[in-house]
Structure 1
Amino acid sequence: MAAPLVLVVLAAVTVRAALFRSSLAAFIAERVEVASPLNAWKRVVEGLALLDLGVSPYSGAVFHETPLIIYLFHFLIEYAELVFMITDVLTAVALYLAIQDFNKVVFKKQKLLIELDKYAPDVAELIQTPVEMHYIPLKRQFIPIKLKSKSFWLYTMQYASLYLCSLVVIICLSFFLLNSWDFIPSVYGFILSVPDLTPNIGLFWYFFAEMFEHFSLFFVCVFQINVFFYTIPLAIKLKEHPLFFMFVQIAIISIFKSYPTVGDIALYMAFLPVWSHLYRFLRNIFILSCVLIFCSFLFPVLWHLWIYAGSANSNFYYAITLTFNIGQILLISDYFYAFLRREYYLTHGLYLTRQDGTEAMLVLK
């Protein structure tokens, strides 16, 4: 499978290099679907200019990246195009290797469960094959393995500790580089308080632009809690399926974050092929795919009508933003339903019957 990966990477790098050299580069850099107040390249350039003048890049309200980013590009600004392409390639390779390892674990686990008669006898067509998983085992003979079982809460504490330690290291390293704590309100405070209401493909900007100021704090807390509200119940429900939990959680973050871009959506959609075995259980995939595709085409159209032609207003653009995000929510809900339905069938059998022998219908609530 290495050859297809190399071909895809070469094609992607070629397309990206061509876009960098074309007249579309400036147009794409200005698109609100691609650039946000957090990641806009113009803001990075302005932050670098302030840093070169000996002024803190966080003294104004323009730059909101971490000190690690600005010091990285302080030395690599001339090679920014190359840095972006290398980062994309490393991300693609990391995802490929991670999914390969995941497929190996799933392949071994399901063979062990089959040997232990944990699956129903009529679910052979639901078992993932090596071809579907894009994974060819090195040996034909299966060697039984024992699945190591650890407490769910032990895993939770381990990963929570790892996250907190990483956050502390990043903050301490940022302070060492900047010799100031100015970056905390300018980066983390900016993300949480949402002071910049520049239009984007998220749910925050229009809502808070129309809201009375004295209600803002309450509704900022209500909106921001959505990112964290689903974490614990999903973690408990999917404690034996960490990769699917990560996929759902990344999707929720990309939908409910304060300054989303298409890059956030592309991250979780890169995992969709991993769940190809769920396609037979998806209920509205065609309709939802059409909704997301048509919304993607209508974003620039309604933006042009609002900003340049003057024949529309912000309500039009926000309406398509709402439709796009509702489509994403329904898409993730559909995958979650399909995942739970397949897991139920694996245990209870694909062809369910009532006590009288007639065919039963599965309804998940």
Structure 2
Amino acid sequence: MKKQWLSNFVLAGIIRFLLMNSEYQKVISDRVEVSTALNSWKRVTEGVYLYNCGIDPYTGDLFHETPIGLYVFNFIQQHLSQWILFCLFVFTDLLTAVFLGLTAKQYATELVSKQKVEEKLCNENKETHNDASIVYTSMMYVSAGYLFNPYIILNCVGHTTTVFTNLLYSIALVSMTRSIFWNCLSISLLTLQGLYPVSLIMPAIIYITHSNSINRKRNIINYVIVFASIITTLFGISYYIMGSWSFLWSTLGFILTVPDLRPNVGLYWYFFTEVFEHFRWLFIASFQINVSLLYIVPLALRLRHDPMLLAFSYLAVTAIFKSYPCIGDVGFYMSLLPLWKHLFQYTQQGFIVGCFISANANFYFGVTLAFAIAQIFLLTDILFASVKHEFAVRHGINKDISGNTAKLLLE
């Protein structure tokens, strides 16, 4: 099993190296589906050059990374050769897969415990499960889903900063039940860069409430204090690096106001190209409320018993409705789908999602619209499958008919 695990990582690394050193690398990095205004390595290079020349990189509409990111990328470009830079991108991608595998291990262990309780509630006498096999399978599927996901591979080969963002996301997920500090640090860095990931605080707090600790309220207060302290410190460091708050408009302000309307896989660019100017701020407010506020409380209330599914839902909603998405964002949450393998028997929209996600059109926005619809169907199908699973457990429904597993339909 360890050989299979290792071989997956070796093969995934080789694929990335070969593509990075091929003639397709530049083509991939220039694709609008891969590189956006927020994650383009070309923009990073130009921003670092301006910074080294004593010019504020945030004065124009070019650079949108955080000052901390600017400092790190400046160090990388000054001290790393191109070959080592390739290694860094590949290593970061492989490390992300490791953390996602650990997340899967943690979640699979929770599911095994829940399943035993569910079988007692349903009075089912089933054969003993091989818990170790279930956990290992979940780890293998999730890590392989990330390593060999075409969206993730293209994202890495295109040298986008989403590679590092995905690493922070994976740290946030794996640390939800392990370390308050690392969870707060990763979410703070993500929030400083992209604003929307602040929603991941909710599943982390729910995990704390599910813990067996007698000091849950104190732990929640500690979590909030640690998060507020870290993000305040990060803003202070950013101000110290730049000497002003000019970066706020080019990072968080750029995400909220959507001034760059070049095509991407999102829904904003074409809509705001066509909308009348005097309605612009109304629709910007509507779009931003939709992605940042509208689903946080309802999903948290409904999925309070499954915080990992809640985190997945937030990641999916952000990838679908954020202002500057890329396929790297989509590939990240899709690689988590094997975590809910136990819900697949309740899903119904697999064929529709498959058709939509591979759809084509002679109008680019038509393709992006179909792509977004496919993701919405996928997310809602998983969430409805979760509801059906809870219904079956609560009412003790036996899904085995003549030795075959049946599907549960709620009408």
**What range is the shorter-chain TM-score in?**
0.7 to 0.9
**Identity level (%):** 37
Question: Structure 2 CA distance, aligned partners of 1:249 and 1:328?
Answer: 13
1:104 aligns with 2:109: yes
Superposition pairs for residues 297-336 of structure 1, below 5 Å?
A: 298=360, 316-336=363-383
- The equivalent residue for 1:194 is 258
CA 1:286–1:323 in structure 2 vs 1: closer, same or farther (change >3 Å)?
same
- The equivalent residue for 1:39 is 39
- The equivalent residue for 1:21 is 21
Matching residue's letter, 1:94:
F
Unaligned runs of 5+ in 2: 139-209, 400-407
Matching residue's letter, 1:174:
S
- The equivalent residue for 1:141 is none
Residue of 366, 384, 388 corresponding to 1:341: 388
Residue of 81, 85, 88 corresponding to 1:83: 88
Q: How many residues align?
A: 325
Aligned-residue offset at 1:103: 1.8
Aligned-residue offset at 1:155: 7.7
Matching residue's letter, 2:314:
Q
- The equivalent residue for 2:286 is 222
Aligned-residue offset at 1:176: 2.1
Question: Structure 1 CA distance, aligned partners of 2:294 and 2:131?
Answer: 35
Aligned-residue offset at 1:161: 4.8
Work out which of the two has the higher radius of gyration on C-alpha atoms and give 1 or 2. Answer: 1
Unaligned runs of 5+ in 1: 137-145, 303-311, 353-360
Q: Deviations over 1:129-152 (max 9, x none)?
A: 65344369xxxxxxxxx9727899
Verify the 8 A CA contact 2:108 2:134 in the aligned structure 1: no
Q: Deviations over 1:152-182 (max 9, x none)?
A: 9888766555544443232122122222211
Q: CA RMSD in A?
A: 2.7
Question: Structure 1 CA distance, aligned partners of 2:305 and 2:339?
Answer: 17
Question: Structure 2 CA distance, aligned partners of 1:326 and 1:192?
Answer: 23
1:170 aligns with 2:234: yes
Question: Structure 2 CA distance, aligned partners of 1:254 and 1:155?
Answer: 30
Question: Structure 2 CA distance, aligned partners of 1:317 and 1:232?
Answer: 34
Verify the 8 A CA contact 1:132 1:277 in the aligned structure 2: no
Residue of 210, 227, 232 corresponding to 2:274: 210
Question: Structure 1 CA distance, aligned partners of 2:4 and 2:306?
Answer: 28
- The equivalent residue for 2:298 is 233
- The equivalent residue for 2:159 is none
Mean alpha-carbon deviation: is it higher for 99-108 or for 178-187? 99-108
Verify the 8 A CA contact 2:352 2:374 in the aligned structure 1: no
Question: Structure 1 CA distance, aligned partners of 2:213 and 2:302?
Answer: 16
Matching residue's letter, 2:351:
F
Q: Deviations over 1:200-221 (max 9, x none)?
A: 0100000000011111111001
Question: Structure 1 CA distance, aligned partners of 2:17 and 2:282?
Answer: 45
Question: Structure 2 CA distance, aligned partners of 1:243 and 1:153?
Answer: 21
Q: TM-score, normalization: structure 1?
A: 0.81
Verify the 8 A CA contact 1:192 1:224 in the aligned structure 2: yes
Aligned-residue offset at 1:271: 0.5
- The equivalent residue for 1:290 is 355
- The equivalent residue for 2:310 is 245
Verify the 8 A CA contact 2:343 2:385 in the aligned structure 1: yes
Verify the 8 A CA contact 2:356 2:373 in the aligned structure 1: no
Question: Structure 2 CA distance, aligned partners of 1:74 and 1:340?
Answer: 48
